[in-house]
Amino acid sequence: MLLIRFVRFLLRWSPLLIFIVAAIWLLRNPFNWFGKSEEPVTIINHDVVLQEIESLGRLELVRYRYKDIVELTEKNARYLGIFEVPDSKVALITTGEAVGCMDLTKITAEDILIRGDTILVHLPAAELCYYKLDLANSRVYSVDKQVYFKSESQLLEKAYRQAEQQMRRSALQGGILNETRQNAEQVLRPLLEKVSGKRILFLDQQPPPQKLERRQ
């Protein structure tokens, strides 16, 4: 009889006991059922030191954008000096830009002459200000080393360097310096004519044979 009463007791009160145990477990082990899990906290420390301040007077006037497919092939030495080894090859798809500019800080008072209603301005030579690859938008198409111990990173570095040098050559051969000079005149002429009220004539920056009048 006692056993039957004990079983009845358990059957009657077991749901309540299970509920109490579950509530205690949930309180001790809280869990966010409805919200998103917390993102991990990232802590970044920087130690930036300003090394140099440089005054710049370069006026950027032209920007060429490039996209290039670069294929680099590097011949491998014979294995054991006997067996032929296929060439190592790398293929890249690169993007980048080259910028033409003019350094206006090179203009001195002696480069500005006045002849009646005309002002002669000797402009400095146009420069290829910089050229660089856009690594974020460039990608490696394929790498085939053929030799196990050959460094893949060195092959890629060589290919990227060749791509950057080709971009420089393409910019210079494409006339970026001439276009930079033309754009400099288009930008500076209206400004200087409005300020001076005179006609502006641009010349290359070189000592003139005879200076009639210096700008005051």
Return d(Cα 118, Cα 122) in angstroms, integer: 13
User: How many other C-beta atoms lie within 10 A of the C-beta of residue 172?
Assistant: 14
Interhelix angle 152-173/176-196, nearest 10 degrees? 50
**Mean pLDDT of the 29-54 span:** 62
Q: Which residue has the tokens 């394929």?
A: 142
Tens-digit pLDDT profile for residues 96-118: 999 999 999 898 888 999 988 99
Asked if residue 141 has pLDDT above 80, the reply is: yes
Of 35-39, 51-55, 56-60, the range with the lowest mean pLDDT is: 35-39
